[in-house]
């Protein structure tokens, strides 16, 4: 288990998936350990170029923050400020981006757009095929974003959403279980501890997972 390597899988199609943390170079894109991106169309190492759109942090002071153990499907997009023209202006045309052309004194690119801030993705989030996440959105831990969903609002933890715009379909678990998972935060465990508890995680045995955590913390 090495979250710093590029490819988590060997064999056929092994280079379709990458540990995202190992291929991102932009300091304003922050990715947690073991988060994967799969792309069978383009090289997944080009995530930063192909999937993070209109991201100009020097101008707009915005970040993409993705937690640990997330699964991001092929073609998922993160849409930032530069793709969201200002609604304060009488025109949606981005005049401030072209100051010389329109006789503006300075280049104030931030005036061309409405900035709603960072995109924040929690831990253990599954983002489906070609979903689009808009700027300013926070997605809670354990959430699932359906195929082709357009996410324009915050998504609570362990909530399944789909559609355009995305709407809640259902919760993954009952509220008591969700609260236990949020308190447990297994994604912050050492990788060896996660490995030792794989069977409980995969089987949904949260009682045993809690017992193991209490035992290991004694």
Active site residue 116: no
Q: Calculate the alpha carbon distances from 175 to 128, 178, 180, 197 in Å.
A: 24, 5, 9, 23
Region of residue 158 (phi > 0: left; psi between -120 and 50: alpha; otherwise: beta): left
User: How far apart are alpha carbons 27 and 50 in whole angstroms?
Assistant: 17
6 by DSSP, 3-state: which? Answer: coil
Q: Residue 193 in 3-state DSSP?
A: helix
2 touches 18 (CB < 8 A): no
Q: Of residues 85, 108, 148, 190, which has the active-site annotation?
A: 85
Active-site amino acid positions: 85
């Amino acid at each position: 288990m090495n979250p710093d390597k590029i490819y988590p899988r060997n064999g056929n199609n092994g280079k379709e998936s990458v540990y995202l943390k190992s291929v991102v170079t932009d300091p304003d894109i922050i990715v947690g350990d073991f988060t994967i991106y799969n792309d069978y169309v383009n090289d997944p190492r080009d995530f930063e170029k192909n999937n993070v759109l209109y991201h100009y942090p020097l101008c707009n002071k915005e970040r993409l923050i993705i937690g640990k153990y997330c699964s991001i499907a092929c073609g998922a997009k993160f849409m930032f400020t530069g793709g969201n023209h200002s609604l304060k202006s009488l025109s949606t045309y981005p005049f401030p981006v072209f100051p010389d052309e329109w006789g503006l004194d300075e280049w104030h690119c931030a005036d061309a757009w409405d900035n709603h801030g960072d995109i924040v993705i929690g831990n253990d989030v599954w983002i489906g095929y070609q979903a689009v996440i808009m700027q300013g959105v926070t997605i809670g831990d354990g959430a699932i974003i359906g195929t082709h969903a357009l996410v324009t609002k915050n998504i609570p933890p362990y909530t399944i959403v789909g559609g355009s715009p995305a709407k809640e379909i259902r919760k993954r678990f009952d509220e008591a279980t969700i609260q236990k998972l949020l308190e447990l935060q297994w994604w912050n465990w050492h990788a060896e501890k996660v490995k030792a508890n794989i069977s409980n995680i995969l089987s949904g045995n949260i009682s045993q997972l809690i017992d193991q955590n209490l035992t290991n913390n004694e």
